[in-house]
Chains A and B, each alone.
Chain A
Amino acid sequence: MTQFSTWDIVSNLLLAARWTVLLSILAFIGGGAVGLVVLYCRIARKPWLQRAANLYIELFQGTPLLMQLFLIFFGLPLMGLDVSPWAAAFVSLTLWTSAFLAEIWRGCVESIPKGQWEASSSLAMSFFEQLRYVVLPQALRIAVPPTVGFSVQVVKGTALTSIIGFVELSKAATIITNATFEPFTVYGFAALIYFVLCWPLSKSSQLLERKLNVAHHHH
């Protein structure tokens, strides 16, 4: 049996962590894009669109991410699409992220006073123009802290993709554990790497929120 040094363990974990980071970034960007569409439907003045968006949000927020992963991993092939664990991971994390971001952003949009909508519609702006030029720029400011905060959930969510066989940090930890029989060290370091990825995001979300609150008090 080959001996593994601590450095072997850490370096292999770090190599695998690249995939965690890449998947997180892609899922976050994809989720943001889809989330914007869902947000638009959710606040559009068409009841059926709103209801569809609501259903979408409730389905993805109301079921375990692991189930969503399984359904997409096993479901897409049934529709004749051959998916790798990588693709299944990306698609499901994107959809899951979009639902949460849409809901977070809806809260931000709704916290903009009604008067802003009324004022802009009195200036003959269309719904889309109101959103684009008046409401979203204001909502964006308050949306930043919770959005950054949610990115932590995305990073942690990627750990589940190990279960469908995508080799990222968690899967690598399991593989290395099986080779080294040092679960305490390996999972300990894996946790540490996740922490190093997530903690700056959590902290900056908190700081941004505090800054925003202070700014609010001064106006």
Chain B
Amino acid sequence: MAYSFDFSSLADYGPVLAKGVAITVELIVVGGALGVGLGIACAWAKALGPRWLRPIVSAYVELIRNTPFLIQLFFIFFGLPAVGVGLTEMQAAILAMVINLGAYACEIIRAGIEATPRGQFEAGSSLAMSPIQTFRHVVLVPALQKIWPALTSQIVIVMFGSAVCSQISVEELTFAANFIQSRTFRAFESYIVATVLYLLLAVLLRQVMRGLGLFLFPRRRKTT
């Protein structure tokens, strides 16, 4: 029995999809920016920070990398109110994404920092820069440049992961697809459309990261 596709019944739901895309974009832009920020801070702490801080950061990184995002999200959204921290769906989703990306970004960025030649640190200190100043002005940018492609891939993975935020009723793209299929009973078509939109969003996100890379690192690194 051949199945006949019917995308036409989805036509009325353009605005729903548009809203879903917009919220997915919001999630990944806010979560991505804050998550990379957290990742930089943790990478600094782990590679160069005070000794007492390192095991704490390691524990955080290991805990996040070895548990599913879904459980992290549920723990934050359903579990935290039980101890008095109530968050809206959107806040919980963004917090979960930041914490999740922060852990992965930490490891990626740390690899970049550790690949920095010792001479760069020494040049910084011989110019009377403090360790933090050396990190910020000398080490960070080349380190980020080195790992930019890996960081980009991770952010795309986190965007795909954000699909489960529909499970706490964040009205993002997957939520929109769920909504449409429940109304139209055209599940397959709804999810195909959503999947294609995710595919396009991923392409767009990679382009944005590439552009951002060109802006942050105007110099191409010589491949030696």
Evaluate contact between A152 and B199: CB separation under 8 angstroms.
no
How many of A's residues come within 8 Å of B, CB to CB? 39
Evaluate contact between A160 and B70: CB separation under 8 angstroms.
yes
Evaluate contact between A183 and B82: CB separation under 8 angstroms.
yes
Pick from B65, B70, B163, B192: contact of A64, CB below 8 A. B163
Evaluate contact between A194 and B160: CB separation under 8 angstroms.
no
Contact residues of B between 61 and 108, Cβ < 8 Å to A: 62-63, 65-72, 74-75, 78-83
B residues near A198, Cβ cutoff 8 Å: 65-67
Query: Provided the pairs A64-B163, A67-B191, A174-B74 are in contact, do residues A184 and B62 lie with their beta carbons within 8 angstroms?
Result: no
User: CB of A23 within 8 A of chain B?
Assistant: no
A residues near B23, Cβ cutoff 8 Å: none
Evaluate contact between A195 and B66: CB separation under 8 angstroms.
yes
User: CB of B10 within 8 A of chain A?
Assistant: no
Query: Could you tell me the distance between the alpha carbons of A96 and B191 in the complex, rounded to whole angstroms?
Result: 17
Q: What residue of chain A has the Cβ atom nearest to residue B195's Cβ?
A: A67
Pick from A62, A63, A75, A183: contact of B79, CB below 8 A. A183
User: CB of B7 within 8 A of chain A?
Assistant: no
**Digit string of A62-81 for contact with B (CB within 8 Å is 1, else 0)?**
11111110110011001110
User: CB of B187 within 8 A of chain A?
Assistant: yes
Pick from B62, B174, B187: contact of A74, CB below 8 A. B187
User: CB of B3 within 8 A of chain A?
Assistant: yes
Query: Provided the pairs A63-B195, A64-B163, A160-B164 are in contact, do residues A194 and B79 lie with their beta carbons within 8 angstroms?
Result: no
Query: Could you tell me the distance between the alpha carbons of A75 and B192 in the complex, rounded to whole angstroms?
Result: 10
Evaluate contact between A187 and B74: CB separation under 8 angstroms.
yes
Interface magnitude class on chain B: 35 or more
User: CB of B131 within 8 A of chain A?
Assistant: no
Query: Provided the pairs A80-B1, A187-B78 are in contact, do residues A71 and B195 lie with their beta carbons within 8 angstroms?
Result: yes
User: CB of A162 within 8 A of chain B?
Assistant: yes
Interface positions of B (Cβ within 8 A of A): 1, 3, 62-63, 65-72, 74-75, 78-83, 160-161, 163-164, 167, 174, 177, 181, 187-188, 191-192, 194-195, 198-199, 202
- What are 27 contact pairs spanning A and B, CB under 8 A? A62-B202, A63-B195, A64-B198, A66-B174, A67-B191, A70-B177, A71-B191, A74-B181, A78-B188, A79-B3, A152-B66, A156-B69, A159-B70, A163-B70, A163-B167, A170-B70, A173-B74, A177-B78, A183-B78, A183-B79, A183-B82, A184-B82, A187-B75, A198-B66, A198-B67, A202-B62, A202-B66
